């Protein structure tokens, strides 16, 4: 069994749904072209496909109301958080209703003794960590953007701290989800482990809004480290830098963050963030623990880096210095846009086993240079994940085709190395074509069967992840 291919609702059905939603939500439904455009994908080269209306929900029960109305008229439903995803997750290729969850921003409970919290999906990670500051706890998943935590769960986000703290799938304990039939499902509990039934929490984490809308989350929290040290280390080549990363992980040094920036990216952030880093491949690291532990970890990494021709490793426990460097790293997307202002960036990512990291990065870097592309490369390389951001003139069909082919080869290279087509950006619209190659037709058909069982009318974020190419 497969889910039905998405189609646009009949105009009369759409009008009826919008009329009912207007009666229910008043001025919290918008048909404005500007608002609808804001709720389509913006940080990508894909065409913006705006919804027919945007409804701003405030409670789980209101999401149920929206879902019931849309189901009755066979109108697509697209959940919207902060709009910071890269793979077209919030586009509305078949029109429909965008459910904006940003006003569902309550921090419901913080259980400091159990190191967990309950929140609504519109809470952003920076807001949560500001709220937690006096508890001695923090939420460690850091994708860079101040994304909504509901969206981070829906896309199974990770980021710079994943090498130590895991990804969203490791830090979501339970969810409240509204499914396509308007039912409220509660998955998991606040217990740290369970053997009771199917793991529905993990099913919905990473489902990209195609199975239901997340309306509440229970999150695992972590203690704020007693001491943090960070630093930078330059290398002669990306292979040397990656080999140093592999050795660091294999030596069980508990690094919290280890980021790769290639020479092109370093040059861009120097210009954008007013830094004076050496324009060579660079590792940016952070260690968490006691003062003695972070000092020892820094010294051990310095020895490893030196053995691969890197160094010197400049490290510090000064928080202002660390913040400045990590701010520059998080601004890399915008910095790299400045390398070719007339072009559109196309951020994409893959992830490979750590032992194949150097091979995959080096081969990708060589192809970038051979094709003459401007394509900065960065990576959360402690877990084998790296990103490439080709800059493409959208008025040049030949260049668009060249970059599409390059991305396809990069993905196939990663999969051939027993990796994945995406380590954290998700599938959305752009990576659907690679799922069969990665998982096989049998696994893909099982996914489609799950989708069809939960959402038989294919109303939940249609056109994403599992829909066939059209």
CATH of the domain at 269: 3.30.70.3450
Tell whether 264 and 286 lie within a shared domain: yes
Tell whether 150 and 84 lie within a shared domain: no
pLDDT tens digits for range 188-239:
999 999 999 999 999 999 999 999 999 999 999 999 999 999 899 999 999 9
Taking 50 as the pLDDT cut, the residues of the chain under it are 1-3, 469-470
pLDDT value for 3: 44
33: Cα separation from own chain's centroid: 27
Strand partners, 23: none
Q: Concatenated DSSP letters for 353-386?
A: -GGGHHHHHHHHHHHHHHHT----EEEEGGGTEE
* C-alpha–C-alpha distance, residues 216 and 442, integer Å: 32
Identify the CATH number of the domain in which residue 184 sits: 3.30.465.10
pLDDT value for 470: 37
Average pLDDT over all residues of the chain: 94
- Do residues 50 and 92 lie in contact, with contact meaning Cβ atoms separated by under 8 Å? yes
440 found inside a domain: no
Number of structural domains found in the chain:
4
Strand partners, 233: 283
Residue whose pair of structure tokens reads 């660091």 in the numeric block: 248
Tell whether 256 and 321 lie within a shared domain: yes
Tell whether 359 and 380 lie within a shared domain: yes
pLDDT value for 358: 95
Query: How many other C-beta atoms are found inside a 10 Å radius of the C-beta of residue 243?
Result: 20
460 found inside a domain: no
Tell whether 78 and 171 lie within a shared domain: no
- Do residues 324 and 261 lie in contact, with contact meaning Cβ atoms separated by under 8 Å? no
Tell whether 186 and 257 lie within a shared domain: no
194 found inside a domain: yes
State which H helix or E strand residue 99 sits in: strand 97-100
Where in the sequence is the domain holding 356, given as residue range(s)? 336-433
Tell whether 261 and 343 lie within a shared domain: no
Identify the CATH number of the domain in which residue 360 sits: 3.30.70.2740
Tell whether 361 and 373 lie within a shared domain: yes
Tell whether 42 and 81 lie within a shared domain: yes
439 found inside a domain: no
Tell whether 138 and 217 lie within a shared domain: yes
Tell whether 219 and 235 lie within a shared domain: no
Tell whether 344 and 288 lie within a shared domain: no
């Amino acid at each position: 069994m497969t889910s039905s291919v998405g189609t646009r609702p009949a105009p009369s059905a759409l009008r009826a749904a919008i009329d009912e939603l207007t009666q229910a939500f008043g001025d919290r439904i918008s048909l404005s072209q500007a608002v609808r455009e804001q709720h389509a994908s913006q940080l990508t080269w894909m065409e913006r496909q705006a919804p027919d209306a945007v409804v701003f929900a405030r409670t789980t029960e209101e999401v149920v109301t929206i879902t019931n109305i849309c189901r009755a008229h066979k109108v697509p439903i697209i959940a919207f958080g902060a709009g910071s995803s890269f793979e077209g997750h919030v586009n509305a290729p078949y029109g429909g209703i965008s459910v904006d969850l940003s006003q569902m921003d309550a921090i419901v409970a913080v259980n400091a003794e159990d190191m967990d919290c309950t929140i609504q999906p519109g809470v952003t990670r920076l807001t949560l960590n500001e709220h937690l500051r006096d508890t001695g706890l923090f939420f460690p998943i850091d994708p860079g953007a101040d994304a909504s935590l509901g969206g981070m769960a829906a896309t199974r986000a990770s980021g710079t701290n994943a090498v130590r703290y895991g990804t969203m799938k490791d830090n979501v304990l339970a969810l409240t989800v509204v499914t396509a039939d308007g039912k409220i499902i509660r998955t998991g509990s606040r217990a740290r482990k369970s053997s009771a039934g199917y793991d529905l929490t993990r099913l919905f984490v990473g489902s990209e809004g195609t199975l239901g809308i997340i309306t509440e989350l229970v999150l695992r929290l972590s203690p704020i480290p007693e001491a943090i040290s960070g630093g930078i280390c330059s290398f002669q080549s990306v292979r040397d830098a990656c080999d140093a990363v592999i050795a660091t992980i294999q030596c069980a040094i508990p690094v919290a963050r280890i980021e790769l920036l290639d020479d092109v990216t370093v040059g861009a952030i120097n210009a954008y963030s007013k830094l004076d880093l050496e324009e060579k491949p660079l590792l940016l690291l952070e260690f968490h623990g006691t003062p003695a532990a972070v000092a020892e970890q820094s010294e051990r990494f310095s020895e490893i880096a030196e053995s691969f021709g890197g160094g010197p490793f400049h490290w510090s426990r000064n928080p202002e210095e660390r913040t400045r460097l990590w701010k520059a790293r998080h601004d890399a997307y915008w910095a790299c846009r400045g390398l070719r202002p007339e072009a559109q960036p196309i951020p994409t990512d893959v992830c490979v086993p750590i032992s194949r990291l150097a091979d995959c990065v080096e081969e990708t870097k060589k192809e970038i240079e051979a094709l003459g592309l401007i394509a900065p490369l960065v990576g959360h390389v402690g877990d084998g994940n790296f990103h490439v951001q080709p800059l493409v003139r959208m008025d040049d069909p030949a260049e668009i085709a060249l970059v599409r082919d390059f991305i396809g080869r990069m993905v196939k290279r990663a999969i051939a190395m027993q990796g994945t087509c995406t380590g954290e950006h998700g599938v959305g619209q752009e990576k659907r074509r690679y799922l069969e190659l990665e998982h096989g037709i049998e696994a893909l058909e099982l996914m489609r069967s799950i989708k069809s069982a939960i959402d038989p009318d294919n109303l939940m974020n249609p056109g994403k992840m599992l829909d066939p190419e059209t």
